[in-house]
């Protein structure tokens, strides 16, 4: 019976874009976390809607051939990963299909031709940055980890299989040190307390680590001494920072970061260049996968060295600088002024002098360009491009547009708008598995201007 709390038997026939298994009961779709196509399961119905419901897995009656034993003991509870129970090959198959279906049904591309999905060489230990919320246990002990699926209930972790293994020892010790210092932990319900999160970032190729504490106050007692202790204890820890975020809500980092001890950056090697990465600027989470994707883009563009390139949403110049070495002129646009400052530093560090960077909204800066670019590269946030960016690109008419996306639905929408009226045509679409063990998929598309 289709009612709250009912136990029903389901055959899981698909995986949703959010990572849930999908079955059908009484003519309705039932979304069930921690399942996979081919599972026969017993499910308790929850959160009933007219056309669909969410269910909680009660028992696996017959496991799918794609089901494996997770590498994490809390994989069925933690919201950090959705797919640790699914074999890697099938994860990639599903992600490829999600991109294809988005282009077909949202973008209106009748038969989109996708290249075979590229994937991370590391399916575990690939994350170069982790940010953990802090909380307290029922007995008052400091905890950190990830939230349970679809909740703000904290699961305490002492290690995480998808983060770089060199970060695990710090995860345990930092909690103990926070406890020993007596620093208050922020309560998001009462809006009281100081420490909200801590973040660890590592240079995959150098091993250098930055630690950042995120706090509602600028002052934590004995912080400088504790920071120096951390630097002495961990030889690879090169800097400790404090990020000030007094605002309520789910935004993790505030706008003000202070270096407490050590360096304000770590060194990383990417695409043959040295990059300095700060504690609060954007860099691709999966270093190896990002380099594979960049090389695929370079190969597809077939650059001659005469091109003028604009990299919108450029961050710290991760893709801008390697591409600048292969074109005549490059310009990076980015909203975050800290990222722009770091991009300029990275250009100087690598003696790349044919690139400039501008800080501001892409939708504001792009129409003000003093030249007509041959290539525009887009790497917007999950919400995709502002409509003004799309219209400006259609007016600028660059001969090629590269669009890197972390959400197939918004990629499909934006590609449809760019190609409207036959202005551009899609010549390459490459899915990339940046985030193994999760349902997230990266894609890159190449558009060419029609003559």
Cite the active site residues: 406
With a CB cutoff of 8 Å and minimum separation 6, the contacts of 358 are: 331, 332, 333, 334, 340, 365
CB 230 within 8 A of CB 240: yes
CA separation for the pair 297, 293 (Å, rounded): 6
Angle, alpha carbons 352-355-361 (nearest 5°): 140
Angstrom distance (rounded) from CA 115 to CA 56: 36
CB-based contact 201:238 (threshold 8 Å): no
Structure tokens at 252: 């993790």
Could you count the other beta carbons within 10 Å of the beta carbon of residue 156? 16
Q: Are 216 and 222 in contact (CB under 8 A)?
A: no
Tokens of 362: 């892409």
Tell me how crowded residue 139 is: count the other CB atoms within 10 A of its CB. Answer: 5
| Rounded Cα distance, 151 and 66, in Å | 27
Q: If you search the block for the tokens 């594979």, which residue do you land on?
A: 292
Q: Which residues pair with 213 in a beta bridge?
A: 198, 242
User: Could you give the 3-state DSSP secondary structure of residue 233?
Assistant: helix
SS3 of 58, please?
Answer: strand
């Amino acid at each position: 019976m289709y009612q709250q709390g009912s136990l029903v038997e389901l055959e899981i026939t698909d995986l949703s874009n959010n990572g849930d298994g999908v079955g059908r009961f009484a003519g309705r779709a039932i979304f069930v976390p921690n399942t996979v196509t081919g599972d026969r399961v017993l499910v308790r119905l929850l959160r009933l809607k007219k056309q669909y419901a969410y269910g909680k897995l009660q028992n696996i009656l017959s496991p799918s051939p794609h089901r494996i034993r997770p590498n994490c003991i809390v994989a069925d509870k933690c919201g950090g990963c959705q797919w640790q129970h699914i074999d890697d090959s099938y994860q990639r198959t599903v992600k490829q299909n999600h991109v294809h279906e988005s282009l077909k049904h949202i973008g209106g591309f009748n038969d989109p031709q996708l290249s075979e999905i590229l994937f991370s060489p590391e399916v575990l230990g690939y994350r170069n940055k982790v940010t953990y919320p802090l909380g307290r246990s029922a007995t008052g002990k400091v905890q950190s980890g990830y939230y349970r699926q679809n909740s703000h209930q904290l699961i305490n972790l002492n290690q995480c299989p998808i983060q770089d293994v060199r970060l695990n020892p710090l995860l345990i010790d930092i909690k103990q040190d926070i406890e020993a210092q007596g620093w208050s932990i922020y309560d998001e319900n009462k809006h009281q307390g100081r420490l909200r999160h801590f973040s660890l970032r590592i240079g995959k190729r150098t091993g250098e680590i930055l630690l950042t504490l995120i706090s509602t106050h600028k002052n934590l007692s004995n912080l400088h001494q504790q920071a120096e202790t951390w630097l002495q204890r961990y030889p690879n820890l090169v800097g400790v920072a404090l990020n000030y975020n007094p605002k309520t809500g789910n935004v993790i980092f505030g706008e003000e970061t202070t270096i407490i001890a050590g360096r304000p950056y770590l060194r990383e090697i990417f695409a043959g260049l040295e990059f300095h990465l700060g504690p609060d600027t954007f860099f691709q989470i999966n270093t190896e996968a990002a380099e594979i994707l960049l090389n695929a883009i370079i190969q597809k563009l077939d650059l001659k060295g005469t091109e003028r390139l604009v990299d919108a949403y450029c961050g710290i110049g991760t893709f801008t600088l390697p591409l600048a070495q292969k074109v005549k002129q490059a310009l990076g646009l980015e909203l975050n002024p800290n990222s722009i400052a770091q991009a300029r530093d990275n250009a100087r560090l690598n003696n790349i002098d044919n690139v400039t960077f501008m800080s501001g909204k892409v939708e504001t800066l792009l129409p003000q360009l003093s030249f007509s670019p041959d290539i525009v590269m887009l790497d917007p946030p999950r919400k995709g491009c502002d409509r003004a960016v799309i219209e400006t690109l259609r007016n600028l008419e660059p001969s090629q547009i590269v669009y890197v996306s972390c959400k197939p639905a918004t990629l499909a929408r934006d590609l449809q708008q760019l190609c409207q009226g036959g202005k551009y045509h899609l010549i390459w679409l490459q899915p990339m598995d940046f985030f193994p063990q999760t349902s997230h998929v990266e894609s890159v598309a190449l558009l060419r201007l029609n003559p």
